[in-house]
Amino acid sequence: MIAEDLLMPLTPLGERQNLRRYLLTEVEDFDIATLATLTTDAWAHDYVDQLRINLDTHHLQHMLSGDDWFAIVVCDERDTPVGFEIAMGRTVYCRGDVFTGYYVSAFTVASTHRRRGIGQWVLEGINEVAFESRGADLLFSAFHRGMAGSPTVQSTFDKMADFGVTRFHRSANYGVRVDRDPPPNVTMPLSVTRVTSTGDGWQHHVESEAAGPIDIPSLSAFDAHIRDHYDVGFALDKSFQGHYLSAEQDDGVMLWVGFDNGAKACVSYAITPLIVNDRVLKPSGMIQAVSQQGCSNDQLEQMMLALAHRFRELGCLAISLYDLGVIPMSVIDNLRLNADDEFDYAVRGPRAVIEQFEGVQSPFYVDLT
């Protein structure tokens, strides 16, 4: 049950069937631990004996970092959360065009409140705020195959005139453990610089210059590169900036990796908490958006090995990534990363917008949040 004083700052978005729907825009306005309890119970019901992301309080607070986010929360008659979803502001590029978007994630309905229309009511609230109040062009999401509310999303948008869902890319989740045995040694000299940002430019945090200084482009130049060279990509602003470019946290990080021939790559990663049933595991080092310029397959493999060692030192269980067309399959095979789950990357919104994502080709510069 939520204390009444924590519900007061929330914006009400309707009542029905002893349920109340709210708009959440400030972390301080709500007891995030109650949302963590909801996701833990609901996802344990949906993922029995399966590995899943642990949406604990810390991880939810990380998702709610950065600018321009909101969440829809549905509470029962005792003011206990029984459904919610997070929408994180993103600028989305598609074939050079720029769209205002929201990355929607953590869709949850309490296992004891299924078949009451709560999921659809949450989605309708997301649509109302994103499209009607905030002028969004689209919503972006990654559906876990057969899970994560995909049927509910599809049925909700099927009922909306001139709206729809376009799934534009399917990817397996590849991973290998790093906690038991150390990964193979890195045999090439690498330079590594972490970048952070609070505005228009980078702040450089040099970790190694073993291969010489890295010629890192300006933030604006790299953002333009993403827009012009990827069929689908995220700009380096809004929640993407909050998740990967904040110097105040280490859950999401962006690195530039350089080689002695001038080749370089930009890689972002997230330290992602894991759980099976009620057993909390070590986290996974999850590689997210990657861009490379002039790197050979051998160099990309060396970068991956360096990241594997980094994650091991950080106490991670595994290194994992999604196939977004940047890391070649030969490198994934050489590193013996195994595929398990599959995810569909998708956009939803007005058909005139989402149809532009049909037929897009990898590589993509996106993440899975």
Number of other residues whose CB lies within 10 A of the CB of residue 22: 24
> Half-sphere exposure of 116 toward its Cβ, with a 13 Å CA cutoff?
18
Give the tens place of pLDDT for each residue, 186-232: 999 999 999 999 888 999 999 999 999 999 999 999 999 999 999 99
CA 151 – CA 208 distance, rounded (Å): 47
> Tokens standing for 319?
């290194």
What pLDDT, on a 0 to 100 scale, did the predictor assign at position 28?
87
From residue 294, give the alpha-carbon distance in Å to each of 68, 115, 304, 309, 365: 35, 52, 16, 23, 16
CA angle (289 as vertex; 284, 295 as ends), nearest 5: 105
With cut-offs at 50, 70 and 90, classify the pLDDT of residue 5. Answer: very low
Give residue 310's pLDDT: 99
Share of the chain above pLDDT 90, in %: 87
Helices then strands (H, E): number in the chain? 10, 18
On the question of pLDDT at 149 being above 80, the answer is no
pLDDT at 1 over 70: no
Averaged confidence pLDDT in the chain: 94
Q: Please report, rounded to a whole number, the percentage of residues in the chain having pLDDT higher than 70.
A: 96
- pLDDT exceeds 70 at position 147: no
- Dihedral-angle region of residue 67 (phi above 0 means left; psi in -120 to 50 means alpha; beta otherwise): beta
The CATH number of 176-341 is which of 3.40.50.11890, 1.10.3720.10, 3.40.630.30, 3.30.70.1230? 3.40.630.30
DSSP per-residue codes, 286-303: EEEEEEEES--HHHHHHH
pLDDT value of residue 158: 87
Half-sphere exposure of 340 (CA within 13 A, CB side): 8
Residue 20 pLDDT greater than 60, yes or no: yes
pLDDT for the residue 197: 95
Confidence (pLDDT) at 148: 52
User: Looking at the chain, which residues constitute the CATH 3.40.630.30 domain(s)?
Assistant: 4-173, 176-341
Give the pair of three-digit tokens for residue 61. 């607070």
pLDDT in the model for residue 334: 97
Range in 4-13, 94-103, 240-249, 356-365 the model is least confident about: 4-13
pLDDT at 151 over 70: yes
Query: Which architecture does CATH list for 4-173?
Result: 3-Layer(aba) Sandwich (3.40)
Q: What DSSP letter does each residue of 136-183 carry, written as one string?
A: -SEEEEEEETT-TTHHHHHHHHHTSTTEEEEEEEEEEEEEEE-SSSPP
pLDDT of residue 293: 98
| Per-residue pLDDT at 65 | 82
Among 3-7, 152-156, 160-164, 178-182, the least confident range: 3-7
Mean pLDDT to the nearest integer, 317-333 = 97
Q: Which of 2-16, 47-61, 111-125 has the lowest mean pLDDT?
A: 2-16
Q: Which of 26-40, 99-113, 146-160 is predicted with the least confidence, judged by mean pLDDT?
A: 146-160
Tell me the mean pLDDT in the region 64-68.
84
Position 9 confidence tier, pLDDT thresholds 50, 70, 90: low
What is the per-residue pLDDT across 293-318, written as a single tens digit (0 to 9) for each? 999 999 999 999 999 999 999 999 99
pTM value? 0.94
